[in-house]
Amino acid sequence: MLEVPLWLWMAFAATVVVSLAVDLLAHRTAHVIGFKEAAAWSGLWVGLALLFGGVVFLVLGTTAGTEYTTAWLLEKSLSVDNLFVFAVIFAYFKVPRAYQHRVLFFGVIGALVLRGIFLSLGVAVVSRFTAVLFVFAAVLFYSTYKLLKDEEADFDPGRSFAVRLLRRVVPVRDEYAGARFFVKEAGKRVATPLLAVVAAIEAADLVFAVDSVPAVLAVSDDAFVVYTSNAFAILGLRALYFMLAGLLDRFHLLSKGLAIILAFIGVKLVLQASHKMISPSVPEIPTPVSLGVIVVVLAASVLLSLRRPPEPPAGSSDRDA
């Protein structure tokens, strides 16, 4: 495990808190976020993540810096799947575009907390039970199969456990009330659909954590590296959504690229576990190689998506254009 100085943990926490405060202040007035604004914020989040990565390189060394960069890019690429689900949730609940950033802001805070819990548990389990890496690899291979066969289960936001639990705890009205989560009706406190949307977003993140947590633990088993990389990837998720909201359908081959990445990480986990449990002669995949594979596969899937537009749905004709 890395010897991470306390000041670096404190610097990370301060960076996250200040960044969230600035973001909230900048978007205190509900408005529709356009492409240029989203691109500017996305660039800011990416720059902040890379800047922090530079600090990791300088303070903790090349190995830790490479692991941080690889884990951040891996989580960033896997989070693209979240964007499609965000679009489904917003469409299902008919969320006005002006309020979508507020929903994602609180969704990100919840995701930061939940990922912290899951990653801490994952690091603790891996450090004690190396065999669990084989289980994680099996999860990634199954996710690969689903992506390649397009067998992802249909996601019904209204029937997610979190939304159903919310409706049991507090009444949820049918109409929005601006950007508020609660209003009073007949002297009673009731929730608006906006709170149900946040619950659906958190439920979706729990599902995606099943893939992303094992994947990032294949890159590093250090709590500082895995959590900080995940946190910076999650922080930039909102801006990335608004920047790509109208372009998601064009990246139709991205899911295949993610499948290849998950399969590769699964193989990395198997080799890593075999090296520790079976024989030191079993080779491991170096982190720089993992970083290179992720970059190449992502770039190829995006470029091929743009060069080969998706085929029109079956039964469509020129008259439908």
3-state secondary structure 114-127: HHHHHHHHHHHHHH
Phi and psi at residue 71, to the nearest 5°: -65, -40
| Six-digit token string for 151 | 């067998």
pLDDT in tens, the chain (321 residues): 788 999 999 999 999 999 999 888 888 788 888 888 888 999 999 999 999 999 999 999 999 999 999 999 999 888 877 787 888 888 888 898 889 988 989 888 988 998 899 899 988 988 888 889 899 899 889 888 888 886 555 566 777 778 888 888 888 888 898 888 999 888 888 999 899 999 989 888 887 788 888 999 999 989 999 999 999 999 998 888 888 876 767 777 888 888 899 899 999 999 999 998 888 899 999 989 999 999 999 899 889 988 887 666 555 444 444
- The answer to whether the beta carbons of residues 216 and 230 sit under 8 Å apart is yes
What is the pTM (predicted TM-score) of this model?
Answer: 0.85
